[in-house]
Amino acid sequence: MRSAGSSGSSRRPFELKLRSRVMALEGRARVMGVLNITPDSFSDGGRYLDPAEAERRALRLESEGADLLDVGGESTRPGARPVSAREELRRVLPVLKRLKGRIGVPLSIDTTKYDVASAAFDHGVEILNDITALGSDRRIARLVARMGAAVVLMHMRGRPKTMQLDTRYTDVVREVRDHLRGAAHRALEAGIGTGRIVLDPGFGFGKDASQNLELLSRLEEFATLGHPLLVGVSRKSFIGHLLGEPVDRRLHGSIGAAVVAAIKGARIVRVHDVLAHRQALALVEAAGERRP
């Protein structure tokens, strides 16, 4: 039987090789739950700064069906100011220490800093989620290779503080795809195995609302890159722009965007509302299995 959205190479089977296990990326799109340990994230900033509260949130996301958890200690919303590695470590390490041995799903660290990534790996993290696609520090790629970790390489122009100042593209899909192809090539050259690379088009990172919709509508074109695709559209501003809704009223639009992404080939969706997305994606997969 064919999975939902099967269209040749866009639904080819993938395996993601992690430090302690191999995750099959077939059938239902996998759900990556978001755990922001920040005071200023666009959606849930300040809610989980207390390590005990962050731990409870992580365990709840796992119980709701998260396949992976992405932990971040620095906001990457448009206009966000960077924080030091010391501050980022102060936020995330107490949480990682609490989760080690208590959480059953793989953990990802959302960082661009070598010291933060290194410390996170020491506490059992298995994936680096890097919005600069290994472009912030040359040492990080070698660290990922040495640790046998997986990496998410994302497209972004500039940095979060400035990324929305220039959103001009001739063809946003082609340019983002070419950028990710180059990033994957650099990761391979650094010794990161092909089964450890995930690509992310970077919805909301240096793109306007119409460009984000263009990326979503043509997502199947990224299948030519030969690596699994992660999509993060949860509560993003382009959904609010389209629907005229504030951040706290974008759940239904987020689910719709995630469903479209899954049908068009995304293997992992990064979300704030795990249970709702898990249920919606289960229905997408069930319907796909019944296609002739």
The letter for the amino acid at 50 is D
Catalytic residue list contains 81 = no
d(CA 112, CA 154): 11
pLDDT tens figures, 192-207: 999 999 999 999 999 9
Other CB atoms within a 10 A radius of the CB of residue 100 amount to: 13
pLDDT tens figures, 208-226: 999 999 999 999 999 999 9
Tokens (6 digits) for 95: 């949480």
- Please tell me which residue in 236, 250, 264, 278 is annotated as part of the active site: 236
d(CA 241, CA 238): 5
pTM: 0.91
Burial class (CB in 10 A: 0-12, 13-18, 19+), 40: middle
Q: How confident is the model at residue 117 (pLDDT cuts 50, 70, 90)?
A: very high
Domains of the chain are 14-285 (3.20.20.20)
Decide if pLDDT at 248 tops 50.
yes
Decide if pLDDT at 7 tops 50.
no
d(CA 36, CA 57): 10
pLDDT tens figures, 63-103: 999 999 999 999 887 767 889 999 999 999 999 999 999 99
- The residues, ordered by sequence, that sit 6+ positions from 56 with a Cβ below 8 Å of its Cβ are none
- Please tell me which residue in 11, 207, 270, 278 is annotated as part of the active site: 270
Catalytic residue list contains 100 = no
Residue 11: the pLDDT is: 61
As a whole-number percent, the residues of the chain with pLDDT over 90 amount to: 81
Q: How confident is the model at residue 44 (pLDDT cuts 50, 70, 90)?
A: low
As a whole-number percent, the residues of the chain with pLDDT over 70 amount to: 90
Q: What is the DSSP string of 190-257?
A: TT--GGGEEEE--TTSS--HHHHHHHHHTGGGGGGG-S-BEE--TT-HHHHHHHT--GGG-HHHHHHH
